[in-house]
Structure 1
Amino acid sequence: MERAWFGGKVVELPPGSHADERGVLTTMAFDRHGFAAVRCFIVEAPDGARRGGHGHLRGRQLLVRLSGSIDIELRYHGSIERLTLDDGLRAILVEPPVWASQTYRGDRASLLVLCDTTYDVDDYSKDPA
């Protein structure tokens, strides 16, 4: 079952997993959320590095932890939620205008970010929501 924050402005997308002697295949479906990625990027950061610190006016982002542990701070209409992307929570879909920052934990923590809009500097909001 998916967890949600801020009345559904942020939702967990739990992965599926299929393991056999060849390894593990991890799957994630996000079509039921109406999310269609048009670009992505990967952030790999040292322990303690802080990234993000902005929201989007239009764009939605799917944050997927690839390795390490990543502390996420989310802000929306004066409320703050803190969660950690790790083995228990692997991915979240963030709707605009939720503001988010990430603090990377462990050696070579990495995050895959899929976006449903092309890059547009005017879509960024530095003010916490």
Structure 2
Amino acid sequence: MSLIQLISFPPLGDDRGSLVALESQQSIPFDIKRVYYIFGTQQGVARGFHAHKQLKQVAVCVTGRCRMVLDDGKHREEVWLDSATKGILIEDMVWREMHDFSEDCVLLVLASKHYDESDYIRDYAEFKEKTKS
């Protein structure tokens, strides 16, 4: 099974422009409890480098692009997020890294739970240990 689970967000609109609607339990496969966005990331800086014990997220570049790396402890895959109509579903217990941010990148993230520092795994060796079968 692939770690890369892309979600298409059909653009709505007319000659005035486009709109994408993101709705809990519709285009987003969970109830949205938290929304944040990453922007202004300096060239050469990578972000993420953690997993969540019990949190689902959908990430979408509303402008610009970045390279997402996902790792379940056994497989590592990557994909470019480069469209406001394409998101990626990130399940719990998946290590995530974000690389190669364009200057104009705004990465929007929708989360299934409120922020909880105790849900993070920030050490890759600990993550690998927890994902052993």
Alignment TM-score, normalising by the size of structure 1: 0.83
Shift of residue 14 of structure 1?
0.4
Aligned to 1:37: 32
| Identity in percent | 25
Aligned to 2:131: none
Give unpaired runs (5+ residues) of structure 1: none
Aligned to 1:62: 58
Call closer, same or farther: CA 1:104–1:72 in 2, change over 3 Å.
same
Kept after mapping to 2: 8 A contact 1:5/1:11: yes
SS in structure 1 at match of 2:102: strand
Q: Which amino acid aligns with 1:111?
A: L
Which deviates more, 96-105 or 51-60?
A: 96-105
Aligned to 1:22: 16
Deviations 1:73-104 (A, max 9, x none): 11113211011101397211111100001014
Count of aligned positions:
123
Q: Which amino acid aligns with 2:103?
A: D
Aligned to 2:2: 5
Q: Which amino acid aligns with 2:11?
A: S
Give unpaired runs (5+ residues) of structure 2: 129-133
Shift of residue 47 of structure 1?
2.9
Kindly report structure 1 stretches of 4+ aligned residues shifted beyond 4 Å.
Answer: none
Match status 1:113 vs 2:109: yes
Which deviates more, 13-22 or 93-102?
A: 13-22
Match status 1:77 vs 2:73: yes
Call closer, same or farther: CA 1:99–1:51 in 2, change over 3 Å.
same
Call closer, same or farther: CA 1:91–1:39 in 2, change over 3 Å.
same
Q: Write the distance in 2 (CA, Å) between the matches of 1:65 and 1:88.
A: 6
Call closer, same or farther: CA 1:100–1:36 in 2, change over 3 Å.
same
* Mapping for residues 85-96 of structure 1, pairs under 5 Å: 85-87=81-83, 90-96=86-92
SS in structure 1 at match of 2:19: strand
Shift of residue 30 of structure 1?
5.5
